[in-house]
A and B are shown apart, each in its own frame.
Chain A
Amino acid sequence: MKRFFERAALLSAAVVIFAMCGRGFPAAGADVRTLNLSTLAPLTTVDPHNTTNLQDITFLKQVFEPLVFQNEATGDYELRIAEGYSVAPDGLAYTFNIRKGVKFHNGRDLKASDVVFSLKRAAENPKVRNYLVTVADVSAPDEYTVVVKLKQPNAAFLNNQNMVFIVNRAEVEEQGEEFGTKLTLAGTGPYFLTSLKHDVEWTCDAFPAYYRGEAPIKKLHYVPITDASAGLIAFESGELDWYIAPIANWDALSSNPKYKTELVPANHISFICVNYLKKPLDDDNLRKAIAYAIDKDAMNIAVFSGHAVNADFLIGAQNTGAPTTGIVYDYDLQKAKEYLAKSAYPKGTHIGSINCSAGGNYEKMAVVLQANLAEIGLTCDINRLESATNLEYARTQKFDLLATGGEVVGDFDAWRLYCDTRAVGAYYVKYEGGKFDYKKMDKLWDDGISVADTAKRKEIYTELNNMIMDTATMLPVFHRPTPFVWTTDLNIPRNYSIFPQVYEWSWK
């Protein structure tokens, strides 16, 4: 018996030692303070052309840069790798003047050929090619000029460039298929990777040769923390310097003098979809009854303790082309009951199920919606689904009502893929072939993207927004808040709704 326990103890020690092999402590400079950050998931890749994962991009934006950067807060375009650009009068060609003296982290000079390579490489990957779908050709007439020709005018082209990063051709080709899976120095951003364990931790140093000047914070250390409570404890115990906190803790954190906080409305919209192809939801009056029965304030309190910004339109006002006037469904029980009375269905009708991803904010939205509908005498079930199944059911219109949401960044055109009538299978509500004037919707989408004038675009999108609102099939609810919290010795001039710009931060 004694020998058995001795053997067990030895084996235990061996397993611990085996597990420790190759896992070192995080590298930290002896006299340089490291900024400790977290992401909500492990890094899937460091290839910026092979991911649309928000957590990946949040980090990769510190390492890679696009030609032109769109400021999330103002919507303005800021020049990065391009030092200037011009648009052909017909809107079919963009000429970018590439900044001279830009170096990749590996020391090589950035040339127009790297930009051409990057755009072409991105256009071949299904994950990001959507940003370049209107591009017909990319060429480099000289070492510092890139011409992008479009198949059709695309007013959102610059907005899309915000997500297309420039990489060093030579290094990508050297690494071949392994690019993205191991340490890379193919970026030009303010930070370069110094260590990489995708699912444990990764570190960066400030790039001394960065063309906008070396970043004030010299070292970054990232860890993935998937559990929000664990992340908050990590922040409070000093393991993290900045964190996107759970909204439930906002009041406690914002009143704590030990921390600095900022609540920023996210460039995200939560909405309810109504499948008008199914009975009884094919009844226009019934759908409008539902639209007026939605109590956005109650949902806001239930989901975000009242800190979200209620949404009247399909996209936030800070984005290009966002409508600011038009059809709005405010909570009005009287109107909801009047529309229900006008419908072909009596009080007490069972209208099906509300689909939602299980266990998150959308489930809470569904619960409130169920109660809202009960107030006007409609009953429904809640169908809690695993997220991938929920997405598949949404895309194939296997739902009655759907509580969902998504990031819609930069331009009203970004909403197109949720309801464009031609993008078969990619939308939530199927307009094509239905009773609404989907051909006019298509024309408005095309017109909106073809016109360069911002005011004219807003006019077109206002009309389009009204058309969609009038169908009462996609009902905006709110823009969720992003609660930022950080240590008082960290100076952050501004938090952006999605992607932090660590380059702007400094220690006090």
Chain B
Amino acid sequence: MHRFILRRLLMMIPIIIGVSLLIFIIIDLVPGDPGSNLLGPGARQEDIDLMNEQLGYNYPLLQRYGVYMYNAVFKLDLGKSYSTKKPVFTEVVNRLPVSLTVAFNAIMFSLVFGVPLGVLSAVKQNTLFDRIPTGLALLLASQPAFLIGLVLMLIFSLHLGWFPVTGAASWKSYIMPMVALGLPHGGRQLRFTRSSMLETIRQDYVRTAKAKGAPPRRVIWKHAMQNALLPVITVAGNSFGVLIGSAIATETLFGLPGLGTFVVMGIKQKDVPVVTGGIIILAVIFSFVILAVDISYAFVDPRIRAKYSGRRG
């Protein structure tokens, strides 16, 4: 297990180099320069040139990349934002808890909502207990998070006054973003759990357990559920990684200062340190999440646990 984790950690090095170089090249290919974007329409060319020079944007691409990576690796310095002049590392660290909170809670909400209903739907296949959740899942999975967010705002902020519309001032601010982001994923989880569960309960070992007289609840929760959960965990883990960086619409709508909005603002302003730093951190987080998902298999699947135990022995 340790060797597996170490190997996966070492694999992150080429990933980070690849991602950062790709970002540098892509941003360089996008028309325009940071000086023009920061100074806006009507700026004089000499001011734009001066701005680019002050930002170090006039050096060749590879030189900029080399300096950036040297500082990032040896000094943990991801540069300063062109627009705010704040250290990118600090900005990312400040925003990371917001994105992690929203993404993690949205995933947990989607699991709590989607997995039990998915199991119920599979166990009671072709009954109302199946059709209603499946229809609901289809409806939710097809709705964009910002639309659900607006509906939640109208109900819970405007009419009931339970939660603040925007901001990240208190725990209440995180409830609606969590639900808005979690509901569509919950719908997808429900459908995924249902199909995974249907496949599992038709397996021989489940039939054997039933034939041996095991109680139905034990058959479902102990024998079928554990195996059906493996693909569900994979989907949830991947979704978590994606949600951290891509919950832009939700962050924008609810005024949450997360990583997604940070990177998008950086892209709009050609703020190279922000985009590169933000995406490197996202790539690292995503890699760790995938690693965590793989490790979690061992907790859920006794066969994998036994495999690693065997190696150790």
Contacts and interface: CB of A to CB of B under 8 A. Distances in A.
A316 to B, nearest CB: 16
Interface residues on B, range: 35 or more
B31 A392 contact: yes
Contacts of A428: 41
Contacts of B270: 388
Interface string A212-226: 000000000001111
B195 interface: no
Contact of B255 (A11, A230, A414): A230
Given A52-B40, A199-B95, A233-B153, 14 more contacts: A4-B296, A16-B101, A126-B51, A130-B47, A198-B84, A201-B169, A225-B255, A226-B255, A229-B253, A233-B150, A234-B157, A237-B161, A388-B37, A389-B31
Contact of A45 (B84, B225, B268): B84
11 contacts: A1-B225, A8-B111, A126-B47, A198-B86, A201-B169, A226-B261, A230-B255, A239-B166, A391-B32, A418-B41, A424-B45
Interface in B107-165: 108, 111, 150, 153-154, 157-158, 161, 164-165
Given A201-B169, A418-B42, A230 B153 contact: yes
B226 interface: yes
A45 B85 contact: yes
A182 B169 CA distance: 19
A230 B254 contact: yes
Most chain A Cβ neighbours within 10 Å, of B37, B42, B84: B42
Interface string B27-52: 00011110111111111110110110
Given A15-B101, A126-B51, A426 B38 contact: no
Contacts of A238: 161
B45 A230 contact: no
Given A45-B84, A392-B32, A387 B268 contact: yes
B186 to A, nearest CB: 15
Measured as residues with beta carbon below 8 angstroms from the partner, the interface class of chain A is 35 or more
Contacts of A233: 150, 153-154, 157-158, 165
Contacts of A386: 268
A6 B124 CA distance: 27
Interface in A3-21: 3-4, 8-9, 11-12, 15-16, 18-21
Given A15-B104, A15-B105, A200-B167, A127 B51 contact: yes
Interface string A199-211: 1110000000000
Contacts of B150: 229-230, 233
A15 B157 CA distance: 25
Contact of A391 (B36, B83, B100, B153): B36
Contact of A130 (B44, B83, B161, B166): B44
A20 B226 CA distance: 34
A180 interface: yes
B50 A126 contact: yes
Contacts, number: 173
Contacts of B85: 45, 50, 177, 180-181
B145 to A, nearest CB: 12
B299 interface: yes
Contacts of B39: 52, 126-127
A15 B170 contact: no
A9 B51 CA distance: 49
A227 interface: yes
Given A126-B39, A201-B169, A223-B166, A42 B257 contact: yes
Contacts of A177: 85
A392 B31 CA distance: 6
Nearest to A385: B31
B32 A388 contact: yes
Contact of A237 (B45, B86, B105, B165): B165
A225 B153 CA distance: 14
Residue among B33, B35, B255, B261 facing the most chain A CB atoms (10 A cut-off):
B255
A224 to B, nearest CB: 6
A127 B166 contact: no
B242 interface: no
B84 A227 contact: no
A23 interface: yes
B168 interface: yes
A24 interface: yes
A19 B30 contact: no
B208 interface: no
Interface in A383-437: 386-389, 391-395, 404, 406, 414, 417-418, 423-426, 428
